[in-house]
Amino acid sequence: MWIANKKSELQAHLSTCKEPVILVPTMGALHPGHASLISLAKEQAGDTGTVIVSIFVNPIQFDRGSDLESYPRPLDTDLELCERHGADGIFVPDTGEVYSPDRSVTVIESSLSSYLCGATRPGHFDGVCTVVLKLFNLSRCDAAVFGEKDFQQLAIIRRMIRDLDLGVEIIPHPTVREDDGLAMSSRNERLIPEHRNDAPRIQKALLEASKQGTPEKILRVAGDLIEASPYARIDYLSLVDSETLLPVDRLSAPSVLACAVFYGDVRLIDHIDIPARKQ
């Protein structure tokens, strides 16, 4: 497994890589969910393809400086996990290697990012789109693997690929969960014990709410169950169309019940799909 810290080193390795090249973009602090993404990429690449994992904590997608500063960076264990699960190469650039000091171009998505995380984290998805486009270009990847946990991110990246004719195939991976149902996230490690023990209520609330018959009841039940916690604070709770991500008042098309919940200063996201129902 090779490791590149500079764009020039990455390009040198790519000159000898065999196709297809499949990228797994990450911000590090890798956990079993990331391992599943790498394993899926290896399966898709086959015996002859190349799996590249990028590890880069992207500063321009953070809306809170404290969140950026506290983001974990256990590089040695990340590299071990990548090698163990079949990565062929790792791209680990620093910020100066990715962004010029006088950079003036940003990719802006103006529709799908208007709600959910985009509404509460201004500029977040502009930062995501910008870095993902750069990683696509730098890695010359044929495909990229993304987790469905960040379903809004996945929808926006698909839209960027479509609108900019990038020609990169997106390979989705279902949300990976802990044994108690909490969606795996690098942020889980920052939860204090009381918050970690309480956090599985997020998925339980979404599942219970999904049994209700109307959007109003779905949102009310989910909100009540989450807010019953003495620790949880809802950042957003929304029921949206699974394609447009616009809020819905009927269940006539596939929908997504999504939320972001703060435990202290740790922000957790989760969602569940809700099939269309006869009206």
Q: What is the spatial distance between Cα 266 and Cα 222, in angstroms, rounded to a whole number?
A: 20
Report d(CA 116, CA 168) in Å as an integer: 25
Q: For 46-177, where are the alpha helices, taking DSSP H only? A: 65-70, 75-84, 95-98, 117-120, 124-139, 151-163
pTM as predicted: 0.93
- pLDDT score of 98: 97
34 in active site? yes
User: Do residues 226 and 232 touch, judged by C-beta distance below 8 A?
Assistant: yes
Question: How far apart, in whole angstroms, are the C-alpha atoms of residue 183 and residue 200?
Answer: 8
DSSP state at residue 183: B
The count of residues in the chain is: 279
Which residue among the candidates 13, 34, 85, 195 is catalytic per the annotation? 34
- The CA distances from residue 230 to 44, 126, 183, 195, 227, in Å, are 44, 34, 20, 10, 7
- pLDDT score at 152: 96
The closest alpha carbon to 198, from 261, 126, 119, belongs to 261
Instruction: At 44, list the tokens.
Output: 């898709």
Same domain, 214 and 267: yes
Residues 91-109 pLDDT 10s:
999 999 999 999 999 999 9
Contacts for 83 with CB less than 8 Å, ≥ 6 apart = 1
Direct distance between the N- and C-terminal alpha carbons of the chain, in angstroms, rounded to an integer: 54
Same domain for 197 and 111: no
Structure confidence at residue 262 (pLDDT): 97
Dihedral of alpha carbons 176, 180, 183, 185, sign:
negative
Ramachandran area for residue 140 (φ above 0: left; ψ -120 to 50: alpha; else beta): left
CA atoms within 13 A on the CB side of 163: 14
The total number of structural domains in the chain stands at: 2
Final residue before a domain boundary, out of 144, 173, 202: 173
Quick one: average pLDDT of 168-183? 97
Provide the pLDDT for residue 108: 96
pLDDT given for residue 80 in this prediction: 97
pLDDT surpasses 80 at 278: no
Residues of the domain holding 194? 186-271
Of the candidates 173, 208, 238, which is a domain's last residue? 173
pLDDT recorded at residue 279: 63
Q: Is residue 279 part of a domain?
A: no
* Of 199, 153, 190, 197, residue with least CA distance to 172: 153
The domain that holds 129 is classified in CATH as: 3.40.50.620
Q: In the predicted model, is pLDDT for residue 70 greater than 90? A: no
| Residues 160, 212 within the same domain | no
The CA-based angle 250-254-257, given to 5 degrees, is 75
Same domain assignment for residues 165 and 190: no
Q: Is 278 inside any structural domain? A: no
User: Which domain-ending residue is among 122, 150, 173?
Assistant: 173
